[in-house]
């Protein structure tokens, strides 16, 4: 089912934007601005109600938590509203669960573990594959849910469904490749074996920016290994998670293997951390909450994986191919309106190419169309909530006071609410707040550098270490710089690099562990060394 796409409100004419903007606007010539005006203006938006009604009739707008086989309210009956960030309308209420509900969910996962872990790898693989097939069969609907509750444009949301589902497909295959080991013994009457076994009940706490993919990247390998899970999606985007587990049930994954609670995040987090039955916590979100969970996990010595904030440098060298650099930087910076932890946060541009890059990049950013996620042609949706847009607005005020140039945008979009104009900033220095903090919005700060050594030093001058990007046509430089960057992921001449087959994760305070790829399985397995003695007896 595809929503008959209607359309939102137009990006204001560039001339209006420029004249109403009191900030310094440099480097963007009027000639290319007028040549690249946004396409046809948008005029209408789909109502939250109509999309929600379609999803309800498709059985995919689930509004309760899942504990075992039961779609459940909070024990105390509390609920909370979930909003469409584009319109501010309430989509529906969901239970506001707390520690008691979390205990129920843990018990459910714990009880489901023996049977699930004892299935053969082939059986688990087949069930995961069915889940994948159902996610793909319903990708339009799941995409609509993502757009509805998270705001990203429908095309990008459906892209997330493909990406999110790919983890289930990949780990359905990997389920069959959990090998142990036989090690040559040091004494001839012994045999040494290594078994790999599922760790047990895992807790997965996920953010709002990828409401599906951050869940499947965790529970795909967990289920493949034989673990069971309690999922706590973001309170801002619970519907995608609930629809995904509905499809898991339809695929035949037994009740209790996946449970979903949401509501009072700190209370749920504390209950998960304190419970000895939960053997692992996997978290994607802010560094501050990650540290809290890590400290909480210490009490019961749980295995921990964390995907935390980034501060991605994107380095464009003089010898870069300009088109490749512009396309790659645009993809990295503006995907999800800049709301990803791998978004280019600091765009370092070498002196010799700076002016050309700034002009070409601003020109490319200028044509990004802002609008409701269901509107035709929109590539930039709203920011997730008021706090997000206030953060971006404040950052802009700070850095303008420090003397940065606003090359493009630099203010709230005329659509209002949490829409922000795609923004390019010049003359940024490494001590400005945008260089130190994750912007998490559609703001691209350009910073000038002279030498390769200087670029590496600026890039590494942060506690974060998730993703970095470099653009160069010099193969030796690409190796040299890649090796020098203190990051878990490096894109060379490419700005969008996440895939289910490669290990995703950061170094320093960007996290612990890896997700995706064959390495992602290890996070959910324990090794057991078995020593067989007295093996010379006849």
The smaller minimum CB distance to ligand ADP, of residues 232 and 346, is found at 232
338 binds ligand ADP (CB under 6 A): no
* List of long-range contacts for 399-405, beta carbons under 8 Å, 24+ apart: 399/425, 399/428, 399/432, 399/433, 399/434, 399/445, 400/23, 402/429, 402/432, 403/427, 404/428, 404/432, 404/434, 404/445, 405/24, 405/25, 405/26, 405/27
Selected from 101, 149, 174, 235, the binder of ligand ADP by CB under 6 A is 235
Stretch of 105-113, 289-297, 476-484, 490-498 lying at the interface with ligand ADP (CB under 6 A): 289-297
266 binds ligand ADP (CB under 6 A): yes
Which tokens hold the place of 231? 């999922």
If phi over 0 gives left and psi between -120 and 50 gives alpha, with beta otherwise, what is residue 68? left
- Do residues 175 and 124 touch, judged by C-beta distance below 8 A? yes
274 binds ligand ADP (CB under 6 A): no
Stretch of 41-49, 261-269, 317-325, 449-457 lying at the interface with ligand ADP (CB under 6 A): 261-269
307 a catalytic residue = yes
Q: Which of 156, 174, 307, 523 is catalytic?
A: 307
Q: Which residue is nearest to ligand ADP (CB)?
A: 269
337 binds ligand ADP (CB under 6 A): no
294 binds ligand ADP (CB under 6 A): no
Stretch of 264-272, 320-328, 347-355, 530-538 lying at the interface with ligand ADP (CB under 6 A): 264-272
* 134 to 129, 225, 460: CA distances (angstroms): 9, 21, 43
- Do residues 86 and 141 touch, judged by C-beta distance below 8 A? no
162 binds ligand ADP (CB under 6 A): no
* 450 to 264, 371, 426, 455, 486: CA distances (angstroms): 49, 38, 15, 8, 20
The smaller minimum CB distance to ligand ADP, of residues 226 and 338, is found at 338
Give the contacts of 379 (CB within 8 A, at least 6 positions apart).
153, 156, 334, 368, 369
R_g (Cα) of the chain, nearest Å:
24
Of 227, 372, 313, the C-alpha closest to 490 is 313
99 binds ligand ADP (CB under 6 A): no
Stretch of 247-255, 263-271, 354-362, 364-372 lying at the interface with ligand ADP (CB under 6 A): 263-271
Which tokens hold the place of 307? 């995907």
Selected from 292, 356, 448, 477, the binder of ligand ADP by CB under 6 A is 292
Stretch of 96-104, 288-296, 447-455, 508-516 lying at the interface with ligand ADP (CB under 6 A): 288-296
234 binds ligand ADP (CB under 6 A): yes
Selected from 285, 410, 488, 513, the binder of ligand ADP by CB under 6 A is 285
Helices (H) and strands (E) in the chain, counts: 18, 20
User: What DSSP string describes 291-302?
Assistant: HHHHHHHHTTT-
- Do residues 110 and 277 touch, judged by C-beta distance below 8 A? yes
436 binds ligand ADP (CB under 6 A): no
Q: Which of residues 171-210 bind ligand ADP (CB under 6 A)?
A: 205-208
220 binds ligand ADP (CB under 6 A): no
226 binds ligand ADP (CB under 6 A): no
Q: Contact residues for ligand ADP (CB under 6 A)?
A: 205-208, 232, 234-235, 265-266, 269, 285-286, 289, 292-293
Supply the residues annotated as catalytic: 307
């Amino acid at each position: 089912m595809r929503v008959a796409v209607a359309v939102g409100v137009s990006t204001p004419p560039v001339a209006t934007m420029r004249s109403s903007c009191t900030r310094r606007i440099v480097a963007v010539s009027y000639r290319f601005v007028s040549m690249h005006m946004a396409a046809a203006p948008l005029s209408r938006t789909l109502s939250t109600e109509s999309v929600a009604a379609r999803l309800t009739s498709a059985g995919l707008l689930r509004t309760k938590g899942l504990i075992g086989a039961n779609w459940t309210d909070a024990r105390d009956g509390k609920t909370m509203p979930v909003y469409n960030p584009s319109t501010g309308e309430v989509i529906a209420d969901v239970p506001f669960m707390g520690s008691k509900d979390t205990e129920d969910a843990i018990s459910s996962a714990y009880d489901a573990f023996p049977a699930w872990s004892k299935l053969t790898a082939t059986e688990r693989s087949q069930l995961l594959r069915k889940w994948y097939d159902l996610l793909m069969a319903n990708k339009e609907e799941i995409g609509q849910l993502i757009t509805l509750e998270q705001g990203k444009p429908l095309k990008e949301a459906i892209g997330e469904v493909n990406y999110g589902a790919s983890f289930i497909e990949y780990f359905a295959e990997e389920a069959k490749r959990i090998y142990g080991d036989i090690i040559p013994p040091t004494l001839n009457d012994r045999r040494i074996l290594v078994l790999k076994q599922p760790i047990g009940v895992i807790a997965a706490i996920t953010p709002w920016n990828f409401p599906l993919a951050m869940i499947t990247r965790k529970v795909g390998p967990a289920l493949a290994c034989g673990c069971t899970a309690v999922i706590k999606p973001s309170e801002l985007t619970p519907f995608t998670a609930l629809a995904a587990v509905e499809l898991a049930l339809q695929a035949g994954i037994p009740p209790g293997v996946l449970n979903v609670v949401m509501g009072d995040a700190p209370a749920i987090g504390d209950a998960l951390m304190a419970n000895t039955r939960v053997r692992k916590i996997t978290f994607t979100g802010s560094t501050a909450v990650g540290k809290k969970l890590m400290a909480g996990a210490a009490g019961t010595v749980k295995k921990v994986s964390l995907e935390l904030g980034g501060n991605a440098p994107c380095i464009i060298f003089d010898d870069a191919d300009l088109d490749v650099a512009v396309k790659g930087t645009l993809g990295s910076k503006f995907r999800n309106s800049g709301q990803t932890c791998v978004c280019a946060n600091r765009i370092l541009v070498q002196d010799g190419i700076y002016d050309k890059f700034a002009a070409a990049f601003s020109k490319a950013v200028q044509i990004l169309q802002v609008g409701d996620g269901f509107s035709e042609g929109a590539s930039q949706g709203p920011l997730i909530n008021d706090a997000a847009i206030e953060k971006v607005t404040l950052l802009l005020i700070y850095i303008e006071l420090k003397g940065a140039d606003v090359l493009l945008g630099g203010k709230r979009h005329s659509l209002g609410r949490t829409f922000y104009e795609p923004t390019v900033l010049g003359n940024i220095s490494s001590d400005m707040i945008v260089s130190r903090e994750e912007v998490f919005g559609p703001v691209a700060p350009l910073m000038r550098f002279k030498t390769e050594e200087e670029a590496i030093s600026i890039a590494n001058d942060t506690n974060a270490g998730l993703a970095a990007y470099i653009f160069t046509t010099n193969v030796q430089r690409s190796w040299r710089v890649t090796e020098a960057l203190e990051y878990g992921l490096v894109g060379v001449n490419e700005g969008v690099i996440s895939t289910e087959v490669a290990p995703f994760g950061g170094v320093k305070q960007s996290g612990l562990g890896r997700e995706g790829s064959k390495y992602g399985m290890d996070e959910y397995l324990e090794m057991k060394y078995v020593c067989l003695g007295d093996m010379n007896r006849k």
